[in-house]
Amino acid sequence: MTPEAPEASGAGHPAGLFITFEGGDGVGKTTQSALLEEWLAARGRTVVRTREPGGSEVGVLIRDIVLHHRGEVTPRAEALLYAADRAHHIETVVRPALERGDVVIQDRYLDSSVAYQGAGRVLGREEVRDLSLWATGHLLPDLTVLLDLDPSAARKRLDADDKPFDRLESEQSAFHDSVRTEYLALADAEPDRFLVLDASRVAADLATDIQGRVQSILDADAADGAVGSAD
Ligand code: TYD
């Protein structure tokens, strides 16, 4: 893999805005994605809501293997399956949307791979991150919202849902604890990209905080545009 600098947030990638939601299973990512979509749409933005794994036709097939295959999936194979899903999804869905100037709101991206495949299992976080960066042509989000919650509280929410657990949800609690720890370390390492929120708070309050952060990114973009057009 050729070491290239990741595409810095905002720089390099086209007009749109790329926002990802991260966190353990059951922390409320879907609820917050939906609320943010509604808020942005009300402000006249075109929003593409998507997810990994499974945000493309090929991805749906890969999702079925990684989440529902009953036998063993070796760690490297698992990392490659998520990376394959991501490569196809970014090229066919996300980049075209960003090029049109849309806002992409995505449930899970490369930080999920680092947290789950890198920290939770036997692979090193650097190699997992590099694999995803290679797969996506080094695309990083403008904003990553990390919904942080104690895995035992998240588990209670999942139990209340009454859906059967997938392969990763069925992992032991030590696995989910290390996923959480890894996410927090990722956020510490890139404070400009991450917004970390306590997901045990009321959904409407979380939504307000997320909107505030997105608004400041939009304001900064607008100011940049104004500077650019004055030239
Ligand atoms: P998700 O779609 O959030 O599950 P659900 O729709 O059932 O809530 O994520 C599926 C699982 O895949 C989740 O346990 C995390 C895991 N995952 C990884 O291990 N690595 C990855 O790169 C991604 C994107 C997800």
pTM value? Answer: 0.90
Nearest atom (ligand 1) to Cα of 51: 2
- Taking the centre of ligand 1 as the mean of its atom positions, its distance from the CA of residue 173, in whole angstroms, is 16
Nearest atom (ligand 1) to Cα of 169: 14
Q: Whose CA is nearest to atom 22 of ligand 1?
A: 113
Taking a C-beta distance cutoff of 8 angstroms, is the pair 17, 103 a contact?
Answer: yes
Q: Is the CB of 108 under 6 A from ligand 1?
A: yes
Indicate the domain borders of the chain: 17-230
What local confidence, expressed as pLDDT, does residue 6 receive?
56
- Taking the centre of ligand 1 as the mean of its atom positions, its distance from the CA of residue 230, in whole angstroms, is 45
Q: Tell me: the pLDDT tens digits for 69-112?
A: 989 999 999 999 999 999 999 999 999 999 999 999 999 999 99
Nearest atom (ligand 1) to Cα of 83: 22
Beta-sheet pairing, 143-148 with 194-198: parallel
What local confidence, expressed as pLDDT, does residue 10 receive?
44
What local confidence, expressed as pLDDT, does residue 59 receive?
97
Task: Give first-to-last CA distance, the chain, whole Å.
Answer: 39
CATH architecture of 17-230: 3-Layer(aba) Sandwich (3.40)
Taking a C-beta distance cutoff of 8 angstroms, is the pair 58, 171 a contact?
Answer: no
Q: Is the CB of 112 under 6 A from ligand 1?
A: yes
Burial of 223 from C-beta contacts in 10 A (0-12 / 13-18 / 19+)? exposed
- Taking the centre of ligand 1 as the mean of its atom positions, its distance from the CA of residue 226, in whole angstroms, is 39
Average pLDDT over residues 114-134: 90
Task: Tell me how crowded residue 95 is: count the other CB atoms within 10 A of its CB.
Answer: 19
Quote the tokens at residue 18: 């790329």
29, 51, 67, 158: which to mutate for ligand 1, most atoms within 8 A of CB?
67
Cα–Cα dist 44/54, whole Å = 27
Q: Whose CA is nearest to atom 11 of ligand 1?
A: 168
30, 114, 166, 175: which to mutate for ligand 1, most atoms within 8 A of CB?
166
Q: Tell me: the pLDDT tens digits for 28-59?
A: 999 999 999 999 999 999 999 999 999 999 99
- More confident call, 200 vs 3: 200
Q: Tell me: the pLDDT tens digits for 139-198?
A: 999 999 999 999 988 878 878 887 877 766 766 788 899 999 999 999 999 999 999 999
Cα–Cα dist 24/29, whole Å = 9
What local confidence, expressed as pLDDT, does residue 191 receive?
98
- Taking the centre of ligand 1 as the mean of its atom positions, its distance from the CA of residue 2, in whole angstroms, is 27
Q: Whose CA is nearest to atom 17 of ligand 1?
A: 112
Q: Tell me: the pLDDT tens digits for 13-29?
A: 668 999 999 999 899 99
Q: Whose CA is nearest to atom 20 of ligand 1?
A: 113
Cα–Cα dist 159/12, whole Å = 42
168, 169, 171: which to mutate for ligand 1, most atoms within 8 A of CB?
168
- More confident call, 152 vs 11: 152
What local confidence, expressed as pLDDT, does residue 1 receive?
47
